[in-house]
Amino acid sequence: MTDTDWEARVVALWADDTIDDTTRIDRMHELASAAPHPALGAFELGGSLDSAGHEAEADVHYTAATAAGLAEIDPTRAAQLVVQHASTLRNLDRVDEAIAMLRDAPTHPSTGAAPRVFLALALHSAGRYDEALRVAIEAVEPTLPRYNRSVRAYAAALTEPDPA
């Protein structure tokens, strides 16, 4: 199977709404074993497990994808992996790890503001509500057609110490 064929099969599998999670995972196992690089297979298999609610198993495959050099092989998937893996860690109550991962997330067009949004969710899970709201506001602020300066100031005020 060529790299192009493999990619097309992965895309088709993700797009297939007629199959259940178990079938998707089984088919992704097959595709992962035929991947052009182990990091690619581990990432896609981790994603299928993650989307089916098998976070602990997904964590193993996301970690393997990182260790196998996903960032060097496919920067787009590597950026997506940070968001997906951090979300998985948050769901596994490993919130501090998720926060650290998302704070260091690469900027990439494939993820847009998603790392900041997921960081806000992780901060909220950690009970850091004002910081979570600030991060969420700062993530959407650049998309506002106006009021940017005011929104930035209000967001900053959420986590600034009281001038007492």
Segment 46-91, tens digit of pLDDT: 999 999 999 999 999 999 999 999 999 999 999 999 999 999 999 9
Indicate whether 85 belongs to any domain.
yes
Q: How many domains does the chain have?
A: 1
Section 97-117 average pLDDT? 96
Residue 132 lies in a domain: no
For residue 10, count CB atoms less than 10 angstroms from its CB and return exposed for 0-12, middle for 13-18, buried for 19 or more: buried
Q: Residue 21 and residue 150: Cα distance in Å, rounded?
A: 45
Residue 12 lies in a domain: yes
In a domain, 41, yes or no: yes
Range of the domain at 51: 3-127
Position 2 confidence tier, pLDDT thresholds 50, 70, 90:
confident
Q: Quick check: is 81 in a domain?
A: yes
Overall average pLDDT of the 110-128 stretch: 97
Position 162 confidence tier, pLDDT thresholds 50, 70, 90: low
| Sequence-separated (6 or more) residues with CB below 8 Å from residue 123 | 99, 129, 131, 132, 135
Q: How far is CA 151 from CA 109, 116, 157, in A?
A: 24, 16, 10
The string of pLDDT tens digits covering residues 14-41 is 999 999 999 999 999 999 999 999 999 9
- Read off the CATH number of the domain in which 79 is found: 1.25.40.10
Q: What is the mean pLDDT of the chain?
A: 96
Residue type, 9: R
Residue 14 lies in a domain: yes
Say if 138 falls within a structural domain: no
Residue 158 confidence (pLDDT): 94
Q: Is the pLDDT of residue 163 over 90?
A: no
pLDDT tier at 164 (50, 70, 90 boundaries)? Answer: low
In a domain, 151, yes or no: no
